[in-house]
Structure 1
Amino acid sequence: MDRRRISRIAHTHHPIAAPLDDAVVRRLLGRALRRGDERILDLGCGEAAWLLRALDGHPGVTAEGVDLDTGALRKAAREAAALGVGDRLTLHEQDAGDFATKRPFDLVLSVGAAHAFGGLLPTLAAARAHLATGGAVLVGDGFWEREPTPDLVDMLGEYEDLASTVDRIVADGWTPVLAHVSTVREWDDYEWSWTGSLSEWALDHPGDPDSGAALEAAAVHRAEWLHGYRGRFGFVTLLLRRTTS
């Protein structure tokens, strides 16, 4: 089953592709969009859930999103039209690493997409290339809450603890002005929604060729979470500004 289709179905009831409550997302955006007329960019926007919330809550904001998932971008365009914000949203179907623009952005987002750039600091470097002077970056990535087992590192990749993660960001010339560490409840809500939405779709579509694969993917993911990284792997979303030019 196509990985992108799995993700779209799994996020049916939790369109923010990270363990964050909607109220937290709106609070972070509210702090990031201080003027209300910013130009914002999401690198790896998926279904543009962050951008849709920003546009819906801030009528003077304009936004652009970049992603390779055709289906996700089509869904984003439909939802933007339904919300009446389609005229303020531009979507680009391309690799976020290759995106170029002549005008910088006041806010650049990349939450849960650091893998696409090869890690957190490369993600920040990509965001900085599009950032206007005095602008901010909203970035979200994982960290180890507890010492991982070798199997977890093989599964999820190389991360550090929260303090070391923030130290690396600061050493790279950024200052955190706001952050949110996802709670256990946010993680549980996200993972139950992810696995439940995929399982529910499979059970509701037994004739679909992907039904069996979807049910298996949900079961594998649920086992990896409950028996592996639950309580060990964390997620932090940071609002950053440049310390140095």
Structure 2
Amino acid sequence: MTKEPNEEPMDRALISSIAHSDHPIAAPVSAANLDQLLRRAKLRDGARILDLGCGEAMWTLRALELFPGSSADGVDISASALAAAAEHAEARSLGERIRLHEAGAADFRAAEPYDLVLCVGSTHAYDGLTPTLQAIRQLIRPGGLVLVGEGFWQTPPSPELEAEIGHYPDLAGLLAQAEEPGYRTVYAHTSSLDEWDEYEWSWTGTLTRWAVDHPGPDGDTALATALEHRDMWLNGYRDKLGFATLLLRHAQ
């Protein structure tokens, strides 16, 4: 594939969409553990669900299947991910129960409060966990639930690694940070090394395969991104950075 001189280079949202295409859960969480997290929400009939940074909306589509009377909104900045989400919804006969919005998570405005708000791996949209949970307080009904996924350091990182990956607390600090805005943790899942490896091998491998199949500037960009990510994972944060998905209930 060749690019015309006036074409824009690949953006990060498209690269992410390609990299996640074989692992649309888009987090180091297995399908079985995703189900376990969602089932613990025990949503009422007619529940409203919001997914901020939904990607291909696999979390929300599965929630709609587990809770037949529910409906959902999915919000993401990636047009390609939302297009894939719409296709997945139609394939699973869920198209009439989900509305997809191309927007930044922080820019979304809700007409009514939600019973469950998801923000898994997308707290950067609000500049961190604490402002994310503060903003979500305005989106949930009294007694509503939040399912948030965030990183934590399993072992203290070197200053160089922390500068590269980001500042995260340890697991105890993550829970304290999550509960400080008035939430209580009612369930949680910490991703295993196997879940991490499956996620990372899929992310880097899928993007590499796409790059090989698309020689030219886009393929070069995709391959460079995949190799850089793989090096950062294998020689940096593997078995050091953890990921926790917390089911929180606001203490009204």
Q: Distance in 2 between matches of 1:188 and 1:91?
A: 30
What's 1:20 paired with? 29
CA offset digits 1:86-120 (Å, max 9, x no partner): 00001111121121122100000000001111100
Matches for 1:34-73 after TM superposition, within 5 Å: 34-73=43-82
CA contact (8 A) 1:109 1:139 kept: yes
**8 Å Cα contact 1:104-1:130 kept in structure 2:** yes
Contact 1:26 1:53 in 2 (8 A): yes
> Is the CA contact 2:145–2:248 (under 8 Å) kept in the aligned structure 1?
yes
Contact 1:109–1:127 at 8 Å: present in 2 too? no
Please name the residue that 1:96 is paired with. 105
Confirm or deny that 1:235 pairs with 2:243. yes
Equivalent residue number for residue 233 of structure 2: 225
1:213 aligns with 2:221: yes
TM-score normalised to structure 1 length: 0.96
State the 1:168 CA deviation. Answer: 2.0
Moved more, 55-64 or 99-108: 55-64
When the two chains are superposed, the root-mean-square deviation of aligned CA atoms in Å is 1.2
Q: Residue 15 of structure 2: which of 6, 13, 25 is its match?
A: 6
Distance 2:76 2:42 in 1: 22
What does residue 126 of structure 1 align with?
A: 135
Q: Which runs of 4+ in 1 moved over 3 A?
A: none
C-alpha contact (below 8 Å) 2:43/2:67 kept by paired residues: no
| Unaligned residue ranges in structure 1 (runs of 5+) | none
2:14 touches 2:78 (CA, 8 Å); kept in 1?
Answer: no
State the distance in 2 between where 1:147 and 1:79 align: 40
The answer to whether structure 1 residue 108 and structure 2 residue 114 are counterparts is: no
Structure 2 CA distance for aligned equivalents of residues 231 and 117 of structure 1: 27
Find out whether 1:163 has 2:172 as its counterpart: yes
The one-letter amino acid paired with 2:38 is L
In 1, the alpha carbon distance for the partners of 2:21 and 2:194 equals 19
Contact map agreement 2:134 2:181 (CA 8 A) in 1 = no
What letter is aligned with 1:96? A
Whether the 8 Å CA contact 1:40–1:105 is kept in 2: the answer is yes
In 2, the alpha carbon distance for the partners of 1:118 and 1:72 equals 22
Structure 1 counterpart of 2:208, which letter? S
Superposition TM-score, scaled by structure 2 size: 0.93
1: distance between equivalents of 2:104 and 2:180?
28
**2:202 pairs with 1:193:** yes
**What is the CA deviation profile of residues 173-206 of structure 1, one whole-angstrom value per residue up to 9, with x for unaligned ones?**
1110000000000000000000000011111222
- For residues 164 and 238 of structure 2, the distance between their equivalents in structure 1, rounded to whole angstroms, comes to 13
Q: Give how far 1:36 is off.
A: 4.3
1:174 matched to 2:167? The reply is no
